[in-house]
Structure 1
Amino acid sequence: MLTHFLTFWQQWLGKPSKKNNVLIDTPTEKDLKRWAYSEWVEYQAWLFHYGFLTLQDWQQLRHDAQSWLNRPFLSVITPVFNMHPTYLRECIYSVQTQAYPHWEMCLVDDGSDNPETLACLQQLGVTDPRLRILRLPHNQGICHATNQAIAMAQGDYVVFLDHDDRLAPEALYWVAKTIVDLPQTDIIYSDRDTLSPNGYRFLHLFKPDWSPETLLSGNYLFHLMVYRRTLLKQLGGVRIGLEGSQDYDLILRAAELQPQVQHLRKVLYHWRQHGQSIALAQNAKEYIYDAGIQALQEALERRSLPAQVSENKALWRGHYRVQLRPPPLKNYRTLRLTTEPNYAQQVNQALALDNQFDFLVVFGPTLEAQDEALPELVSWLQIPEVGMVTGKVLDEQGNLLHAGLVQRPNGIPLAIYAGFPEHTPGYMAVTAIVRNLSTPHPACVAIKRSLWQDLGGLDTRYESPYALLDFALRTLHSGKRIVYTPFARFIAHDWLLPETWSAPDQQRFLNQWATWLQQGDPYYSPYLTLELADMGLNLDWSRSE
């Protein structure tokens, strides 16, 4: 497999020669090997299984693209400022070597004074007409340069690429195929990994599908990001004055227009770490985080959601906490569940007997709310598209019992990080941020009355907590979302694990939702394990595709 991968790069990049009148320099064999390897053993195994294209694969993708009747034209936009030629050339090569050929690359030099950067751009611009280069007379910042690149773009869609990063060779193919298959798409994003200072791949990010509330905790999307060009024009490009978090502000503003968003579950972008990059030195650009807070605060104000925004100090930089102003106490009631196996009946009765409140908070028999857990839970139900909210549950020793459930094909949900210490942030900080998920815990959930009415209540054919799992999937099917907040903390003195819930109800649930369950939880990557709670890589190759 590695030999085929190297052969692909050597044949495509070639010796210093012209291919389609484009001069492409030859990378060294050392570079090629470095691009092909990971510093993490498990990720290396994953890469060998999923991450390489043979030359035959690459040619097949190109042949497939050429057969399409409508081939979208893509504009890759890249602001440049004093970037080292080695990284800049590699960035541009990654576009020139795309399997999908219908693209242009708009490079805007933002007043670089590094002669090596300028010479690199000049040389490549002369030898490849697909590289459209604009040089600004003096440095005006990344937002201005990005908007200049957007203005240059002639494509149907705009692909954002930083000047020191790389695209996977098949990245534009999958973007274009998504557009061909789903022409109403407005925004596309993909999974990504990181290039270490030595050029090795690691820090994979296998992202959830479109998650608007997760976005309020930070920009989980990162790269690859692709926008319909007309949408960018409608948004007015990126906002000057929010340098460093302009991408975050852009997606927050775009989200308010209810766009059609598609997630490509493929690692199509490689984010580089080096001495001057935010990927390596989080404190190198302090203004980024101030701009992030501003972007988020203004987004909430536009949505008429009174809130305080701050950095989430328990996590690494770039994570935020939104504290929404809770509704009045009269707007919600609580239900303490009994141990009787009639979950649906208990919840339905509580919501049917009293119509003078908007939200119902359901507790397990031994659950104790900590601090401001109840106001925190119900505050997120003020977002119109959110139908249910769940919180964090700990045992008496301070270990996690619940930080969100993941649906599995067997119908028994997985409690991620169950048994881990509370302050374990987890993969992509899932235990420590407000985020979207598919399933709240039945013993810790706030339910919006209007949702309950719209869906006709919980299905009383289920006697066990599976009634809420069924209700959750009906919630998602209705277009509403579900939220987990770690800032609603509870202590449980006794706890029934999902594996102990009713076996007949499990079978009913499995029969009813088999197709959905087999497709996989949209908020959990198929490349992550469903056997363990630690969200490690899934190395069971039969499940991931």
Structure 2
Amino acid sequence: MNVRLKRARELAGYAVQLTKDEGLPTMLKRGAGFVKRRCFGKRARYLPAKKVLEAQRAEMADKTAADCGLPTISILTPLYNTPEKYLREFLDSFVNQTAPNGQLCLADASDAEHADVKRIVEEYQTKNQRIVYKKIENKGIAANTNAAAELATGEYLALADHDDILAPHAMYTMGKAILQLRAQGEPDGFLYSDEALFSKSIQRPMVAHFKPDYAPDYLLCCNYICHLAVFQKALWDEIGGERPECDGSQDHDLFLRLVEKTGGAAHVPQVLYYWRVHAGSTSGGTDAKPYVAAAAKKALADHLARTGRTGTVEDGLFPSTYRVKWDIVGDPKVSILIPNKDHTDDLEKCLHSIWTKTSWENFEVIVIENNSTEPATFTYYKEARQRYDGLQVVNYPQKGFNFSGINNFGRQYASGDYLLLLNNDVEVRNADWLTELLRQCAHPGGAAICGAELLYPDETLQHAGVVTGLGGYAGHSHKYRKAGGSGYMFRAATVQDFSAVTGACLLVKTSVWDEVGGLDEAFAVAFNDVDFCLRVRDAGYRIAWTPYAQLTHYESKSRGGDEKDPVKARRFAAEQQRLYAVHGKANILHDPYYNPNLTMDREDFSESNDLRGLKEGRITVQWRGDASPSQAH
């Protein structure tokens, strides 16, 4: 089905359901709001409403950094031949903050021909005593940033470039977020916000970077944190500031060293920083600064060495992205569990691709026969066992289709260190698929679960990770996008942290499977994989997805669609409600690896049509941690 048509039908269905549940007036009101936001709400769409900013200013009226109640944040900004227009806009953005808890530390390495930089700064110092300035020798971005840090007196530090713009509520929001973390008893050493790109005015932003909560696997693939990052000065001092040997990726290197100390980071889903796009800016891509990639790979390799993990760091699938090829510890055995009912053509394609393409040799395959009715199926099993060395076929004793029960039964026959749940309607595409899944798990500090990239036969994405809350329950990241694209902020082309992955191809440590009790058999058909992954996530493990393991998925050939069969539709609805009952509706609708400013109506990571959280200046902060390699399960 055409994707646009599919979305239109889904939206129409939502309108009909809303009318039934809450009446026509509510539906019309929401519809009008949708049209208003969609068609007329683009200007300043990431900024809080004027009344929100005015309320913040009123709260902080006549207060100073010393008595405003917020921790002081010293912003570190190296200056170098900064164009006057850019410099004034940047300085204005600091002077016009809604709270006085900021300090601006400027280290000026401009050459003699750009003496105006100093003059302009001195002009602004007469307006704001919280601007401190020092003329320095140019020794590179990291050294110049370190020079700015020597001027800092705040409890916290932040990084800002000389040609960018701070959102007016940046210092207020980050200060309040730090207080929230303290009140909740959570670590307050390292926070970051969302950001937006602009070319001329922040009133007309080009696009926002709506980030997930702390995602350690993602951070190894690209510096998704960027701006605005805020961290304790004591931590900065402890790790020695930025490293000149990583100039070009000095911030990425800094963030990796910070999380080694903090064990995680806190995310504030507010756009607090505007990144200017112009020639020479890294926001426009790494072509402007070709040394960035070499510096990033050094930063990543050094991070691996410091954390006692081994692997090689390589370029990723796109510029600005990287890939850690983890060294697999030992020679783990993988037990591949494949439920099957008839459909021997599909199964043969699946088995043939496993045996002929898979480079990882230490595996076993267990086909779980589930109530096949065609005699030819059992003839096929006998013949297949002769052709595929070690193939097991075990008979599920219960009637009907229960994906959870079938796989739980198959686990009894598995001897592997890992279990791989695999649909019978998939076909292996690349030889390293199983190796790549293992790479994410079979090393110190690895994930407990890893999912693969599944493609439809027409070369569009079927699965690139599962996001809970999409469509109200769960959906597939970047579904229907053409294969080979980067996705949103490279999220379809880098190893990712997710709350869940599909059970159509899911690798899990056998010990973790046993620890959480396998699949919940009350989820017979739908959401069993989502429920399982959430239980694993909530037990303190990580779920990863990799684009380097690829399979073709001939989805739903085995069972057909559930939408038109009333019995199947009722079962599906019951399993939807069970997902809420077990995990809580609020928990399902807030996936930590999906930003609340992204749409819940589609699977394409597009911007939400409802940005009320931004307009209201709503301050929420979520800290997430990750077990260090020595503490990992």
Query: Which category describes the TM-score, using the shorter chain as reference length?
Result: 0.7 to 0.9
Deviations 1:376-420 (A, max 9, x none): 011101252522110100122222111122112665422233222
Structure 1 residue 146: deviation in Å? 1.1
- Report if the CA contact (8 A) 2:472-2:589 is conserved: no
Q: 1:255 to 1:43 in 2, by over 3 A?
A: farther
Letter in 2 for 1:376: E
Give CA-to-partner distance per residue, 1:493-514, whole Å, 9 cap, x none.
3437997685122221122223
Structure 1 Cα separation of the partners of residues 582 and 420 of structure 2: 26
Which one is further off, 215-224 or 366-375?
366-375
TM-score by length of 1: 0.85
- In the alignment, is the contact (CA less than 8 A) between 2:280 and 2:289 conserved in 1? no
Unaligned ranges ≥5, structure 1 = 1-40
Residue in 2 aligned with 1:507?
577
2-structure distance, mates of 1:364, 1:65: 59
Instruction: Pick one of 324, 333, 338 that aligns with 1:331.
Output: 333
Q: CA deviation at 1:444?
A: 1.1
- Give the direction of change, closer, same or farther, for the CA distance of 1:541–1:266 in structure 2 (3 Å limit): closer
Q: Contact 1:327/1:375 (CA < 8 Å) preserved in 2?
A: no
Alpha-carbon spacing, 1:543–1:82, altered in 2? closer, same or farther (3 Å): closer
Deviating more after overlay: 243-252 vs 342-351: 342-351
In structure 1, the residue matched to 2:421 is: 362
Question: Residue 81 of structure 2 aligns to a residue in which SS?
Answer: coil
Cα deviation code 1:232-254 (max 9, x no counterpart): 12221111211110000111122
Which aligned pairs between 1:291-440 and structure 2 lie closer than 5 A? 291-312=295-316, 314-315=317-318, 317-339=319-341, 340=370, 341-354=401-414, 357-370=416-429, 371-381=431-441, 382-384=443-445, 386-408=447-469, 412-440=473-501
Alignment-derived partner of residue 119 in structure 2: 119
1:73–1:157 CA contact under 8 A, matched in 2: yes
Tell me the CA shift for residue 523 of structure 1: 1.3
Q: Are the counterparts in 2 of residues 214 and 436 from structure 1 also a CA contact under 8 Å?
A: yes
2:130 equivalent in structure 1: 130
Query: 3-state SS of the aligned residue for 1:487?
Result: strand
The CA distance in 2 between the partners of 1:74 and 1:349, in whole Å, is: 56
**Alignment partner of 1:62 is 2:63:** no
Alignment of 1:455 onto 2:516: yes
CA distance in 2, matches of 1:438, 1:64: 38
d(CA) in 2 for partners of 1:64, 1:335: 61
2 CA distance for matches of 1:507 and 1:280?
A: 45
Q: Cα distance, 1:169 vs. partner?
A: 0.4
> Who is 1:3 aligned against?
none
Contact 1:411/1:517, CA 8 A, preserved across alignment:
no
Q: Quick one: which of 177, 197, 203 aligns to 1:194?
A: 197
Alpha-carbon displacement from aligned partner over 1:1-34 (angstroms, at most 9, x marks no partner): xxxxxxxxxxxxxxxxxxxxxxxxxxxxxxxxxx
Q: Aligned to 2:605, which of 506, 518, 535?
A: 535
Whole-Å separation in 2 of the counterparts to 1:43 and 1:192: 22
C-alpha contact 1:110 1:142 (8 A) present in aligned 2? no
46 and 187 in structure 1: CA distance in 2 versus 1, 3 angstrom threshold:
farther
* Equivalent residue number for residue 483 of structure 1: 544
In structure 2, distance between residues paired with 1:529 and 1:450: 36
Which is further off, 504-513 or 191-200? 191-200
Q: Distance in 2 between matches of 1:75 and 1:302?
A: 28
Provide Cα deviations, 1:171-206, integer angstroms capped at 9, x if missing partner: 111100011111231111111111215774212111
- Identify the residue that residue 209 of structure 1 maps to in structure 2: 213
1:255–1:409 Cα change, 3 Å: same
The answer (yes or no) to whether the contact 1:377–1:485 under 8 Å persists in 2 is yes
Structure 2 residue identity aligned to 1:524: Y
Which residue, 226, 229, 233 being the options, matches 2:233? 229
Using the TM superposition, give the Cα deviation of residue 128 of structure 1 relative to its aligned residue in structure 2, in angstroms: 3.0
Alignment partners' CA distance in 2, 1:141 and 1:172:
27
Q: What is the letter of the counterpart of residue 116 of structure 2?
A: E
1:441 Cα deviation from its structure 2 partner? 0.5
2:504 to 416, 439, 443: 443
Q: Cα distance 1:192–1:43, how it changes in 2: closer, same or farther (>3 A)?
A: farther
Amino acid in structure 1 at the alignment position of 2:478: Y
Structure 1 residue 268 displacement after superposition: 0.9
Question: Is the Cα contact below 8 Å between 1:324 and 1:379 reproduced in 2?
Answer: yes
User: Is the CA contact 1:65–1:173 (under 8 Å) kept in the aligned structure 2?
Assistant: no
* Residue 271 of structure 1, aligned match among 253, 271, 275: 275
> What's the CA shift string for 1:88-122, capped at 9, x where partnerless?
12111111111111221111112533122232223
Mean Cα deviation higher: 68-77 or 285-294: 68-77
* Residue range with higher mean Cα deviation, 235-244 or 44-53: 44-53
**Runs of 5+ consecutive residues of structure 2 not aligned to the other structure:** 1-36, 342-369, 371-400, 619-633
CA RMSD of aligned residues (A): 2.7
Give the distance between the partners of 1:50 and 1:282, measured in 2 at CA. 26
The separation in 2 between residues aligned to 1:296 and 1:498, in whole angstroms, is 45
1:73 aligns with 2:72: yes
Aligned residues: 500
Percent of residue pairs bearing the same amino acid type: 28
Amino acid aligned to 2:70: R
SS at match of 2:261: coil
CA 1:413–1:519 in structure 2 vs 1: closer, same or farther (change >3 Å)? closer
Q: Which amino acid aligns with 1:368?
A: E
Tell me, in whole angstroms, the C-alpha distance in 2 between the residues paired with 1:304 and 1:204.
Answer: 35
Give the 3 Å change call, closer, same or farther, for CA 540–85 of structure 1 in structure 2: closer
Distance 1:46 1:476 in 2: 36
Q: TM-score scaled to structure 2, two decimals? A: 0.74
Describe the shift of the 1:43–1:301 C-alpha distance in structure 2 as closer, same or farther (beyond 3 A): farther
* Matching of residue 45 in structure 1 with residue 106 in structure 2: no
The farther-off stretch of 377-386 and 511-520 is 511-520
Contact 1:388 1:448 in 2 (8 A): yes
Contact 1:409 1:518 in 2 (8 A): no
Equivalent residues of 2:472, 2:600 under 8 A apart: no
Which deviations, in whole Å up to 9, do the C-alpha atoms of 1:422-460 show, x marking residues without a partner?
123221122111111111001111112232233233323
Secondary structure of 1:129's match?
A: coil
Q: 1:185 matched to which residue of 2?
A: 188
2-structure distance, mates of 1:155, 1:328:
48
- Structure 1 residues 450 and 122: alpha-carbon distance in aligned structure 2, compared to 1, 3 A threshold: same
Residues of 1 paired with 2:605 and 2:561: CA distance? 18
SS in 2 for 1:333: strand
Go from structure 1 to structure 2 and tell me whether the alpha carbon gap of 1:292 and 1:499 turns closer, same or farther (over 3 Å shift): farther
**Which of the numbers 226, 231, 249 marks the counterpart of 2:253?**
249
Aligned ranges 1:488-499 → 2 under 5 Å: 488-495=549-556
In the alignment, is the contact (CA less than 8 A) between 1:97 and 1:169 conserved in 2? yes
Residue 13 of structure 1 aligns with which residue? none
- Residue 507 to residue 52, structure 1, CA distance change in 2 (3 Å): closer
Comparing 419-428 with 215-224, greater Cα deviation is found at: 419-428
Does structure 1 conserve the Cα–Cα contact (< 8 Å) formed by 2:157 and 2:233? Answer: yes
Match of 1:128, SS state, is coil
The AA in structure 2 aligned to 1:165 is D
Q: Is the deviation greater in 212-221 or in 420-429?
A: 420-429
- Given that 1:306 and 1:325 are in contact with CA atoms closer than 8 Å, whether structure 2 keeps it comes out as yes
Partners of 1:274 and 1:352 in 2: CA distance: 60
- Please state whether the residue corresponding to 1:177 is helix, strand or coil: helix
The structure with the larger Rg is 2
Structure 1 residues 343, 259: closer, same or farther in 2, change over 3 A?
same
Structure 1 residue 542: Cα displacement: 7.5
Shift of 1:47: 4.6
CA distance in 1, matches of 2:144, 2:101: 23
